[in-house]
Chains A and B, each alone.
Chain A
């Protein structure tokens, strides 16, 4: 989905709020939110792709104003309700107030019909596709051409894995783009490497 989470290359943001060696956690509830979602993944209640997608499904106003671990706990609660483990009413009653959840999911999809095996150095194009469900191809490479510089082992295909759709595992390719090709005339010069699932790619 072309959601608010897909931030790469969006303009208008201010300086990074950088502090040297910043800590990952600031309060105990953040540690606990993290542990609870890891617990649910380890118990097999949901997988990482479902977890990521439930974060992406948060309404944009909510997504942008929530802290990182607030997004995490929202995804966790959403999936526990969707999987029938808990009810939303129970969560609100126990929390003593509103407990906003993410919006429902669109359908997923299985692997692309035609998938090609690429070699290092091959020129590839990210397919010009618009996917309603979960997808891990950032919009900033859509339709753009780059060069394969690495190949991973096969992973579960996220567009399927986030939606309980059957699919083959497939490799991802590290594809190298030039920032000047991604944002012509409007980017600092750099090489941008993106891990792209095989189904999202075609030979250029």
Chain B
């Protein structure tokens, strides 16, 4: 086999494979470009953790919204104009307290309430987090910088069905009385996953 033949059998790069799929769909007469450019925009500009941060800030400042959020998450986030995809029919909001830390994961794939808390970061999708967080929760959180006192209970939520989860972090006491917009700025994506406290 000559050099040229061997080159044919090398695996194409991910970029080449993505381009091949799009070009092949275009060749079938599907108007892909416009649709995927719109989706690129959604993924980068709309499905972001600032949505979840707004939800948390509202919950911290409006007790009746907080109650609705904890009862029916999907309906409550819809009040703020945040939609969920058709296959996410249920959003369960997990309320942290000083004595309780909720943490979310997806051991089998990488499911998240991505329209609310943003598309997940690498580490959430990596093999290490998926394998370990259910079995070694306290150790993993400590390695990630969250060293919880032994009396704090950990609850891990594995996203193995179409129910989606969001953690409601504890409001830092020094921020009580702040305006909603200012509160939203301190809510990080990782606090919505539950691997950090604010």
B160 contacts A138, CB within 8 Å?
Answer: yes
Among residues of A, the one whose C-beta sits closest to the C-beta of B154 is A190
Residue A108 at the chain B interface, CB threshold 8 Å: no
Residues 161-187 (chain B) with a chain A CB within 8 angstroms: 161-163
Q: Which of B17, B130, B145 has the most CB of A within 10 A?
A: B17
Residues 147-182 (chain A) with a chain B CB within 8 angstroms: 150, 152-153, 155, 158, 172, 174, 179, 182
Q: Which of B17, B43, B109, B128 contacts A77 (CB 8 A)?
A: B17
**Which B residues lie within 8 Å of A186 (CB)?**
135
Residue B157 at the chain A interface, CB threshold 8 Å: yes
Task: Give the complex CA separation of A183 and B136 in angstroms.
Answer: 10
**Which B residues lie within 8 Å of A80 (CB)?**
21, 24-25
Among residues of B, the one whose C-beta sits closest to the C-beta of A68 is B125
Q: Mark B133-144 against chain A: 1 for CB-CB distance below 8 A, else 0.
A: 111111110011
B11 contacts A194, CB within 8 Å?
Answer: no
Q: Mark B114-144 against chain A: 1 for CB-CB distance below 8 A, else 0.
A: 0000111111011111111111111110011
**Which B residues lie within 8 Å of A55 (CB)?**
109
B80, chain A: closest CB distance, angstroms: 21
A196 contacts B131, CB within 8 Å?
Answer: no
A8 contacts B89, CB within 8 Å?
Answer: no
Residue B18 at the chain A interface, CB threshold 8 Å: yes
Knowing A7-B127, A24-B118 are in contact, say whether A136-B108 is a contact too (CB < 8 A).
yes
Residues 1-22 (chain B) with a chain A CB within 8 angstroms: 7-22
Task: Give the complex CA separation of A194 and B162 in angstroms.
Answer: 11
**Which B residues lie within 8 Å of A23 (CB)?**
121
A-B contact count (CB 8 A): 253
User: Is the interface on chain B under 10, 10 to 19, 20 to 34, or 35 or more residues?
Assistant: 35 or more
Q: Mark A42-75 against chain B: 1 for CB-CB distance below 8 A, else 0.
A: 1100011000100110000000100111100100
Q: Which of B8, B10, B21, B155 contacts A190 (CB 8 A)?
A: B155
Among residues of A, the one whose C-beta sits closest to the C-beta of B156 is A192
**Which A residues lie within 8 Å of B87 (CB)?**
47-48, 155
B189, chain A: closest CB distance, angstroms: 6
A5, chain B: closest CB distance, angstroms: 6
Task: Give the complex CA separation of A174 and B159 in angstroms.
Answer: 10
Among residues of B, the one whose C-beta sits closest to the C-beta of A19 is B123
A174 contacts B135, CB within 8 Å?
Answer: no
Knowing A16-B140, A39-B36, A188-B138 are in contact, say whether A97-B92 is a contact too (CB < 8 A).
no
B130 contacts A155, CB within 8 Å?
Answer: no
A102, chain B: closest CB distance, angstroms: 13
**Which A residues lie within 8 Å of B25 (CB)?**
36, 80, 85-86
**Which A residues lie within 8 Å of B110 (CB)?**
68
**Which B residues lie within 8 Å of A90 (CB)?**
24
Residues 183-199 (chain A) with a chain B CB within 8 angstroms: 183, 186-197
Q: Which of A31, A68, A188, A194 contacts B43 (CB 8 A)?
A: A31
Residue A122 at the chain B interface, CB threshold 8 Å: no
Given contacts A92-B20, A152-B162, A188-B154, 8 further A-B contacts (CB under 8 A): A18-B145, A22-B123, A23-B121, A33-B18, A34-B43, A36-B25, A97-B16, A192-B134
Q: Which 7 A-B pairs have the closest CB atoms?
A: A8-B107, A195-B161, A97-B12, A35-B39, A95-B12, A22-B121, A94-B20
A interface residues, Cβ below 8 angstroms from B = 5-11, 13-27, 29-36, 38-39, 42-43, 47-48, 52, 55-56, 64, 67-70, 73, 76-77, 80, 85-86, 90-92, 94-100, 136-138, 140, 150, 152-153, 155, 158, 172, 174, 179, 182-183, 186-197
B interface residues, Cβ below 8 angstroms from A = 7-25, 28, 30, 32, 35-37, 39-40, 43-44, 87, 89-90, 92, 107-110, 118-123, 125-140, 143-145, 153-163, 188-190, 195-196
